[in-house]
């Protein structure tokens, strides 16, 4: 996912692994997606929405 977001021109990206495979995606220091909160990986549409945010 990080490579896709970087390819799309998103700013500073950090993907932090957590317990049980969950992770948070932060963009420019702001939480953009949390598998912990959703209980699943993001869809392609959700990844695209991170770019637009």
DSSP string, 10-50: -SSEEEEE-GGG-EEEEETTEEEEEHHHHSSPPPHHHHHHH
Q: Which residue has the tokens 């770019």?
A: 51
Structural contact between residues 50 and 5, judged by C-beta atoms closer than 8 angstroms: yes
> How many CB atoms within 10 Å of residue 4?
14
pLDDT at residue 1 is higher than 70: no
**What is the pTM assigned to this prediction?**
0.56
3-state SS class at 3: helix
pLDDT tens string 6-45: 777 766 776 666 666 667 777 778 888 888 888 888 888 8
């Amino acid at each position: 996912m990080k490579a896709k977001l970087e390819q799309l021109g998103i700013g500073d990206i950090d993907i932090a692994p957590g317990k049980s495979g969950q992770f948070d995606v932060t963009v420019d220091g702001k939480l953009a997606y949390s598998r912990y909160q959703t209980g699943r990986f993001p869809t392609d549409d959700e990844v695209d929405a991170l770019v637009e945010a």
